[in-house]
Amino acid sequence: MTYTQLALLGVVLVVLLDLLVVRTRLLRRRVFWTAYAIVLFFQLVTNGILTGLRIVRYDGAAIVGSSTPADGPPPFLGDGRIAFAPFEDLLFGFALVVLTQVLWVWLGRRGVQRTPYAGPPRLPMPGAADDPRG
């Protein structure tokens, strides 16, 4: 499978998971899309840096656009790219964000760690009951 096919499959699967399987319906909420706009901005910045500096390169046969040229950065916009990165990265990132949030909400509804805890586990200290300071 190409990166394009995998990214599209990921989007379809998480949309079905959200709306039909676990029914969290996050994609129907305005707050999700507001938060996702923030995530998308930083995804474009990160992808732009990694792909623009050619730290990450793509095979043209696996994406819609052409491969990363050996003599310079890919185009900033066009040839299937947005901020240097292939548009498939946006699809794949969307699927990852939605999957994470769907699982978070779904597990939260089932009472997994209802009370948030921070720091190391609090274990009873030996002799603490005998301590006059309480």
When mean pLDDT is compared across 35-39, 40-44, 48-52, the lowest value belongs to 48-52
Residues of the domain holding 106: 3-110
Average pLDDT over residues 96-119: 83
C-alpha angle with apex 95: 93 to 100, nearest 5 degrees?
A: 95
How far apart, in whole angstroms, are the C-alpha atoms of residue 54 and residue 48? 10
Contact 84, 3 (CB under 8 A): no
pLDDT number for residue 103: 93
Q: Is residue 116 included in any domain, yes or no?
A: no
Tell me the torsion sign for CA atoms 83, 88, 93, 98.
Answer: positive
* Domain count along the chain: 1
What angle is formed at CA 96 by the lines to CA 94 and CA 98, rounded to 5 degrees? 65
Mean pLDDT of the region 84-96: 92
Question: What pLDDT band is residue 132 in, cutting at 50, 70 and 90?
Answer: low
Hey, CA dihedral for 30, 40, 62, 78, is it positive or negative?
positive
Q: State the average pLDDT over residues 66-77.
A: 77
Is 10 inside a domain boundary?
Answer: yes
Of the chain, the percentage scoring pLDDT greater than 70 comes to: 83
93-102 pLDDT tens trace: 999 999 999 9
Please report whether residue 123 resides in a domain.
no
Residue 93 located in a structural domain: yes
Whether 130 is in a domain gets the answer: no
Q: What average pLDDT does this structure show over 113-122?
A: 66
Which helix (H) or strand (E) segment is 7 a member of? helix 3-16
